[in-house]
Amino acid sequence: MRRVVLLTCALGLLWPAAALAQPTGGVQRVVPDDPALNVADPASQAHGEALQWWAIREHFPEAWALADGDSVAVAVIDQGVDVTHPDLAPKIRRTLDFDRRRHEGGAGVDRNGHGTHVASLACAQPGNGIGLAGAGYGCGLIVVKSDLSDASLARSIVGATKAGASIITMSLGTDDRRNAPRAIREAVDYAYRRGVVLVAAAADRQTTEQGDPANVLQPTGTGRLLDVGKGLSVTAADFRGGRARWAGDGSQISLAAYGAFHRAGPDGLLGAFPASSARPRLEIGVPASRPCECRALLGDDDRYAFLEGTSMATPIVAGAAALVRDLNPDLGPADVIRTLKRSAQRRRGSGWSNDLGWGIVDAAAAVRLAATLDRRPPASQLSVAGPPTGGAVEVAVSADDELGPVGVRVSGLRTVRIYAARDGGAPEVVGQVRAAGSATVRLAGGHSYALYSVAVDRAGNEEAPPPKPDATVAL
């Protein structure tokens, strides 16, 4: 598990109704009525920024105007989540329990608050007038409870994948273990092959060895490579925009998100926390026998807390991935990973750095980039326009490349190839057209032919051959 710090804080409650703002420059932003987005952070260092300053700086309100995340399920693998919390209860789609310690309660019970906080940063209910808005806005939650053993983690990854998770976030891991167990490597491969985007926390100390599962997702020496890795290893940035002083760095880092605020008063990011009746214990850095009663108050509501760590940065990246997937569901995991890396905010220059990887996640830039990635093949249909004349066959072709997801810019047709299979043999290209229209193909007499078309767009997406021919003709 990653670093967690809890401090008591009381905050006032004054906020406007949910709003869709249109700021200067014509950039649309969605700012729901959750107080964390509308109440100023009390720390003097915040200079009046909102409690949920990280969301503003990482341009989530602009991203929420483009994608609401509601088509995506994010799996949170942790030690349980308080599924009764009002910021989470509407979002729970499934709960899975791979914790052998049955006395700890089921997946919907969180004894230390970590999983509840992580889940809220990813997918807290927006627009309900309490707490915060999760990075993934409308995303659903699959809660997966693990005892954090290797076997349990492997089963959790596979179980989340089978349960329909599109994104898996893991604010957990081992430090300094260079070689992940085979079970974890195989579980990661299983999820990746089935289209899941995996996000894991880097270490919560300054080290170049992030431990697993982070070092499985982004192996040593590959962080600087856009197209290498089976997921994202996330380090933490602090309020100043640099890497948190205790966070991991080096060649296993993919990118960063805000996860720290070092200041007088409560450190870290505000998130949901279990109700006080649950008497949660902070099990990292605090003796398990000592109950943790330290939490933040929003008005008189003590179901919130300030926590810091790569654990907090990781679900924010998962939420950004959910928005990318929601806007463009045709993107595979490699596309989503590359998109988040390419669009990240960089402090100076361009490219990858040891401190923050490809930079601090930029949700709006990522969603806008995803909108330019056409991954859906066009469609076409062929018909014979009239009886053959000698060896000439007139065909009519219809084609369409306007079938992509709403909000994604289609690339347009490049060509439509015409195929003919003679006497049941292998199909061969016998002609092509640049767009919908007619064409004359010449075929040898004395044979029967199965005809069909395959469209290709300017992004290189190629239509699959139809299960049966569009037309048949005998000469």
Asked, for residue 4, whether it belongs to a domain, the answer is no
Across 72-81, 287-296, 436-445, which has the greatest mean pLDDT? 72-81
Residues 6 or more apart in contact with residue 179 via CB below 8 angstroms: none
Q: What is the Cα–Cα distance from 39 to 48, expressed in whole angstroms?
A: 9
* 390-414 pLDDT, tens digit each: 889 999 999 988 877 889 999 999 9
> 147 with 199, same domain?
yes
Q: What is the DSSP letter of 444?
A: -
Residues 6+ apart with CB under 8 A from 404: 330, 374, 376, 410
Domain presence at residue 3? no
76 pLDDT exceeds 80? yes
The residue-averaged pLDDT of 176-204 equals 94
Q: What is the pLDDT of residue 101?
A: 82
Say how far apart CA 283 and CA 110 lie, in whole Å.
11
**Tell me: the pLDDT tens digits for 332-387?**
999 999 999 999 998 766 799 999 999 999 999 999 999 999 999 999 999 998 88
pLDDT in tens, 40-54: 888 888 888 999 999
Whether 336 is in a domain gets the answer yes
Number of domains present in the structure of the chain:
2
| Centroid of chain to Cα 88 | 18
Q: What is the CATH number of the domain that holds 130?
A: 3.40.50.200
Residues 362 and 446 occupy one common structural domain: no
Residue 239's alpha-carbon distances to 259, 263, 398, 436, in angstroms, are: 8, 9, 55, 55
Rounded-to-integer distance, Cα 205 and Cα 390, Å: 78
Q: Is residue 450, in this structure, part of any structural domain at all?
A: yes
- Asked whether residue 1 is assigned to any structural domain, the reply reads no
Q: Residues 348, 393: one domain?
A: no
Q: Residue 460: is its pLDDT beyond 90?
A: yes
**Of the residues 318, 336, 370, the one at which a domain ends:** 370
d(CA 91, CA 81): 12
How buried is residue 147: exposed, middle or buried, by Cβ count under 10 Å (0-12/13-18/19+)? Answer: middle
Cβ of 308: how many Cβ atoms within 10 Å? Answer: 28
Last residue of a domain, one of 321, 350, 370: 370
